[in-house]
Amino acid sequence: MATHFTIEGLKAEIEGKEILKGINLEMKGGEIHAIMGPNGTGKSTLASALMGHPKYEVTEGSVTLNGEDVLEMAVDERARAGLFLAMQYPSEITGVTNSDFMRSAINARREEGQEISLIRFIRQMETKMKELDMNPEFAHRYLNEGFSGGEKKRNEILQMMMIEPNIVVLDEIDSGLDIDALKIVANGVNAMRSEDRGFLIITHYQRLLNYVKPDFVHVMMQGRIVKSGGPELAERLEAEGYDWVKEELGIEDETVGQEA
Amino acid sequence: MTTQTILPVNAEGLSQLSKQRQEPTWLTENRLKALELAASLELPKLEKMRIERWDIQNYGSSKESGSISSLAEVPASIQELVKDQESGSLIIQRNSGVIYTKLASELAEQGVIFTDLNTAIKEHEELVKAHLHTAVTADEHSVAALHAALWNGGIFLYIPKNVAVSMPLQAVLLTDDEEATFAPHILIVADTNSSVTYVDNYVSGESTKAVTHNGAVEIFAKSGAKVRYATIHQMGTNVTDLSYRRAVIDNDASMEWIVGEMNSGDTMSDTYTILKGNGSTSDSKIIAVGSGSQKLNYTTRANHFGKSSESQMITRAVMREEATAIINGITKIEKGATKSDGQQTEKVLMLSPKARGDANPILLIDEDDVKAGHAASVGQVNQEQIYYLMSRGISREVAESLIIYGFLAPVVSQIPLEGLQKQLQAVIEGKLGQ
Ligand SMILES: Nc1ncnc2c1ncn2[C@@H]1O[C@H](COP(=O)(O)OP(=O)(O)OP(=O)(O)O)[C@@H](O)[C@H]1O
Ligand SMILES: [Mg+2]
């Protein structure tokens, strides 16, 4: 089935403060969308609201994945429906090993009695870790505990590769990565490109987009998508910054809470 | 407030009981003296909890339990614990008396003694007399006094000099008759340079009527001896558990406590090592799960007298529902115990808004040339972590249990006996209702 993800008029608030002011976005399987925008404009909030973070309250709008109402679902149901978010700041969990965690995530998608065999799981995990140039010992480390910034990002991509979701949201997956790691992660993403998988890549830099070429680029300001275009938009932002966009739209302060 | 301890037996009754068991005069006298103390002493003072309000007067009376000759006859409630133990060293106490004793023949040949305490008093009187009630003494408070007056059944384990026992010896202590006194006394003497691992389980039967377990464990590790004592308490809601565990260790001796506090009733436990000897070391790991409306008071102590002695104490507790836990760690380093090192950590994870936890780390240091440290934390399950796990498709229940086991794992995974680790894991799962 062709993947189809739709966000319509999405508004969300945190602790009574409205951050998202009506987001519209449509994504199909095979497409790569990039979201750019200055700090504090609501990019991570969008990602969190889509995933169902308990602190964010959606007040208006709809989100559907293949016609199913995503906002009605609990966080784990959204994930099992095919949504994946590589987080800007992944949690650290002491005592839970990376491999136990990932096996639980895979088994959560299988019927009871149909759990993945240990040997098969280990083989799968080892193969993917190799692709990401991760030390095999990371399988036995506690989840993200003491991981460096870059190691955490790689671990997020590892999860994506193991879980094989349909809609992938990557929130600043490139921050904290050295140049080699950036290539490795980009290769990981490219290897996952497919007709039934859509990507929403939140980034500040053109760098990543050099490796993972987007079909659409959106600019977020004040909790809205204020401009959309093709890959050339990202290149212009990289070269000239955001001032020209603000000028064009008559925006003085782009952060959330400042109305145009 | 003074609280009168209601004595479950009078002097005449106690003395008669002692005679029936053919105990030597010194023991009868000890018991009678302890009974007098029980009437005059106060209850122990618990940190931030009032034991006066606990249901701790349910001693019943001493009752005979019929012995069994084979493990096929054990009560259903403990079948699982003793299966495949036909040839192993095992003692079973049911209510007031020991019903089964077996010592592996190769250990008997090496001079190991493993028997109920009454038999030990008859056959090894001097050895027992020299140690009994010298670590946990009757004059401490009314609970210790009552124990010294009433103890029954019990276990005596002696490892001769230079004997290293590799197979763990096992005991099961069962209370399934609420009218029977349940006050086992465990006495372990590890002679010079010996080593031993002893594992026991405290369990209860179907009864729902109130029972008090008043137990004491005394361990003596002579120079260079290594003792590992592992215990899992998994008694039901009707049992109030009062347990004093104490080890006195000599030069270069080492003591290791592994304690699974998995009861469903109110529990007071005090696990204490006296590091008498130079170079002695003590390590305690307490793993606890509380549920329902349990009141729990767990204390670990290390008291350093010997130079270059080292202690490590870790308690991890998970509190569900309305359970309340007060967790104390007391590291005391005496003057002269130079180059000693005492470390402790207490951590409580609370799973519900009504669960309560309190960690009290205490360092009492009378010597300058030492190292000591503590860490304590009390907290709820981190919702950000739950969100992270759920965002990978893991259900809330599984996410919570991953975090709970993760909280206990760093301690559970350090348990050196694989079988015990598995057993504890299973009991934890049971207590967490998963
Ligand atoms: N708990 C909160 N309480 C109040 N305001 C919050 C809270 N969390 C986020 N915000 C605000 O919401 C706005 C959007 O934050 P968000 O993290 O979505 O920005 P972002 O576009 O991802 O920025 P960056 O590029 O720096 O990652 C910011 O102004 C932020 O301060
Ligand atoms: Mg962000």
CA dist., res. A169 & res. B276, Å (int): 61
What's the rounded Cα separation, in Å, for the pair B260 and B317?
A: 10
- C-alpha distance across the termini of chain B, in Å: 43
Q: In angstroms, what separates the C-alpha of A10 from chain B's closest C-alpha?
A: 20
Determine whether the shortest distance from the Cβ of A15 to ligand 1 is under 6 A. Answer: yes
Residue ranges per domain, chain A?
Answer: 4-249
Average pLDDT over residues A182-193: 93
Atom 31, ligand 1: residue with shortest CA distance: A40
Q: What is the pLDDT of residue A259?
A: 54
Q: Average pLDDT for residues A1-23, to the nearest whole number?
A: 94
Reply yes or no on whether the pLDDT at B263 is more than 80: yes
What is the Cα–Cα distance from B5 to B231, expressed in whole angstroms?
A: 29
Q: What percent of chain B has pLDDT over 70?
A: 99
Please state the domain extents for chain B: 11-277, 383-434
Closest partner residue to A54 among B387, B398, B403, by Cβ? B387
Give the residue whose CA is nearest to atom 16 of ligand 1.
A42
Question: What pLDDT is attached to residue B417?
Answer: 84
Q: Is the Cβ atom of A44 under 6 angstroms away from ligand 1?
A: yes
Q: What is the pLDDT of residue A66?
A: 95
pLDDT tens digit string along A170-182?
Answer: 999 999 899 999 9
CA distance A82 to A167: 6
> Is residue A260 pLDDT above 50, yes or no?
no
pLDDT band at B342 (very low <50, low <70, confident <90, very high): very high
Which chain A positions have a beta carbon within 8 Å of B393's beta carbon? 76, 79-80, 105, 108-109, 163
Is residue B65 predicted with pLDDT exceeding 90? no
Query: Which one of the ligands is nearest to A171 CA?
Result: 2
Determine whether the shortest distance from the Cβ of A225 to ligand 1 is under 6 A: no
Q: How many CB atoms lie within 10 A of CB A72?
A: 11
In sign, the C-alpha dihedral spanning A104, A108, A114, A119 is: negative
pLDDT band at A1 (very low <50, low <70, confident <90, very high): low
CA distance, residue B403 to nearest chain A CA (Å): 7
- Which among B171, B166, B243, B177 is positioned nearest to B205, based on CA atoms? B177
Average pLDDT, chain B: 95
At residue B207, the pLDDT reads 84
The mean pLDDT value for B424-434 works out to 85
Rounded (to 5) percent helix, strand, coil in chain A: 35, 30, 35
Among B391, B405, B407, the residue with its CB nearest the CB of A85 is B391
Q: What is the pTM of this model?
A: 0.85
- Chain B nearest C-alpha distance from A230 (Å): 30
Chain B residues near residue A163 by CB distance under 8 angstroms: 392-393
Per-residue pLDDT tens over the stretch A74-126: 999 999 999 999 999 999 999 999 999 999 999 999 998 999 999 999 999 99
Which residue has the CA at smallest separation from atom 30 of ligand 1? A40
Question: For residues A222 and A259, what is the distance between their CA atoms, to the nearest angstrom?
Answer: 7
Least confident of A162-176, B18-32, B73-87, B283-297: B73-87
DSSP designation for B43: P
Indicate the length of chain B as a whole number. Answer: 434
Task: Let me know how long chain A is.
Answer: 260
d(CA B340, CA B325): 30
Mean pLDDT, rounded, for B125-144:
98
Q: What is the pLDDT of residues A200-236, one digit of tens each?
A: 999 999 999 999 999 999 999 999 999 999 999 999 9
| CA quadruple A158, A161, A166, A171: dihedral sign | positive
Q: What are the tokens at B236?
A: 């039901």
pLDDT exceeds cutoff 60 at B349? yes
Which of B276, B267, B274, B353 has the alpha carbon at shortest distance from B315? B267
Nearest-CA distance A247 → chain B (Å): 38
Enter the ipTM.
Answer: 0.96
CA of A172, closest atom in ligand 1: 27
Q: Does the beta carbon of A170 lie under 8 angstroms from any beta carbon of chain B?
A: no
Shortest-distance Cα residue to atom 25 of ligand 1:
A39
* Average pLDDT value for residue range B39-59: 93
pLDDT exceeds cutoff 70 at B1: no
Q: How far is CA B37 from the centre of its chain?
A: 23
CA–CA distance from B256 to each of A241, B231, B248, B329, B408 (Å)? 64, 11, 12, 16, 18
Average the pLDDT over each of B59-73, B122-136, B235-249 and give the range with the smallest value: B59-73
Section B138-160 average pLDDT: 97
pLDDT band at B2 (very low <50, low <70, confident <90, very high): low
State the average pLDDT over residues B197-225: 96
Compute the Cα dihedral for B21, B25, B27, B32 and give only its sign: positive
Substitution site in A19, A169, A174, A201 for ligand 1 pocket (most atoms within 8 Å of beta carbon)? A19
Q: Helix or strand or coil: residue B429?
A: helix
Q: Is residue A54 within 8 angstroms of chain B, CB to CB?
A: yes
Q: Is B251 helix (H, G, I), strand (E, B) or coil?
A: coil
- What per-residue confidence (pLDDT) applies to B419? 85
pLDDT band at B6 (very low <50, low <70, confident <90, very high): confident
pLDDT at B420: 86
Q: Give me ligand 1 centre to Cα A45, in Å.
A: 6
B222 in Cβ contact with B191 (< 8 Å): yes
Tokens of B39: 């009437």
Q: Write down the CATH superfamily of domain A4-249.
A: P-loop containing nucleotide triphosphate hydrolases (3.40.50.300)
B224-238 confidence digits (pLDDT tens) = 999 999 999 999 999
Mean pLDDT score, B396-401:
92
Q: Tell me whether strands B254-261 and B226-234 are parallel, antiparallel or unpaired.
A: parallel
Contact A91 B393 (CB under 8 A): no
Query: Which parts of A62-178 fold into alpha helices (H)?
Result: 75-81, 98-107, 118-131, 149-163
